[in-house]
């Protein structure tokens, strides 16, 4: 009896160990896929434009606009500094503020697609993904009369089908490699400091800096982003030796 029980114990332990190993492998795979979907620099699901090996170049990008409470003031700050930027706009807000979209483009800035309603695309059906991206492009193109060439996924979240749909629509998917965390309730100095750390890191790696900031908020018009405007003023002063470009200079 003792021998039979011992054999049964060994078999059970082996099964348990195999189950644990399988579970750990599943966790590891799940973690890798989550990283691939959400990490700004990941290229696992397909190529995205981040930044080339041009450490003296900086691209300021602003998501979630247009925002009538802040975007005009940001445009004034950029004009004073003679800096060109890239604005990834939400289609629903474009429909509500078409004249502001024209002002962004008339100031020489690049306008990109940030979906119609700002969902987490990595978790959506292909039909919803197409509707969101096509809707935002249509809204922008109706206002500007020109094709939209660049796309940024809300939260940077994507999976292979997202990138495939973007390319089928003739656009380049864009991520980032520095950010100001300005969706948090932080001041301009902290926003600028976070960006500067990212720029310094990128320069050490020999890369340009694709900076993520926000002139709006995806939950509605009127988001308080004046600290981002002030941080922008700080950044263009502190990075006066850099060349500021739109993402269209990179691909």
| The 3-state secondary structure of 80-117, one letter per residue | HHCCCCEEEECHHHHHHCHHHHHHHHHCCCEEEECCCC
Positions marked active-site: 63, 214
Secondary structure (3-state) at 207: coil
Domain locations in the chain?
A: 1-38, 57-249
Each residue's pLDDT tens digit, 96-146 = 999 999 999 999 999 999 999 999 999 999 999 999 999 999 999 999 999
Question: pTM to 2 decimals?
Answer: 0.85
- Cα distance between residue 214 and residue 152, in whole Å: 13
- Cα distance between residue 192 and residue 197, in whole Å: 9
What are the residue ranges in the chain where pLDDT is below 70?
1-42, 45
* For the chain, percent of residues with pLDDT exceeding 90: 80
pLDDT recorded at residue 23: 46
Q: Which long-range contacts (CB under 8 A, 24 or more apart) does 126-130 make?
A: 126/161, 126/165, 129/161, 129/162, 129/165, 130/165
What's 57-249's CATH class? alpha beta
């Amino acid at each position: 009896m003792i021998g039979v029980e011992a054999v049964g114990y060994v078999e059970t332990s082996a099964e348990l160990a195999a189950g644990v190993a399988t579970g750990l492998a599943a966790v590891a795979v799940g973690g890798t896929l989550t990283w691939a979907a959400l990490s700004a620099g990941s290229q696992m699901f397909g190529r995205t434009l981040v930044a080339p090996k041009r450490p003296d170049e900086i691209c300021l990008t602003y998501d979630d606009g247009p925002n009538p409470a802040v975007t005009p003031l940001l445009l004034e700050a950029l004009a004073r500094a003679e800096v060109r930027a890239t604005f990834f706009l939400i289609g629903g807000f474009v429909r509500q503020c078409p004249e502001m979209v024209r002002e962004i483009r008339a100031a020489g800035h690049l306008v990109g697609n940030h979906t119609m309603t700002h969902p987490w695309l990595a978790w959506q059906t292909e039909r919803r993904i197409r509707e969101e991206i096509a809707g935002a492009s249509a809204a922008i193109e109706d206002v500007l009369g020109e094709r939209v060439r660049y796309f940024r996924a809300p939260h940077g979240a994507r999976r292979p089908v997202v990138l495939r749909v973007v390319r089928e629509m003739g656009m380049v998917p864009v991520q980032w490699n520095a950010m100001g965390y300005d969706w948090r309730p932080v001041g301009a100095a902290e926003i600028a400091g976070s960006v500067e750390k990212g720029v310094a890191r990128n320069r050490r790696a020999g890369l340009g800096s694709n900076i993520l900031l926000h002139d709006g908020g995806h939950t509605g018009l009127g988001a308080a982003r004046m600290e981002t405007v002030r941080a922008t003023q700080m950044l263009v002063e502190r990075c006066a030796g850099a060349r500021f470009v739109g993402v269209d200079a990179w691909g």
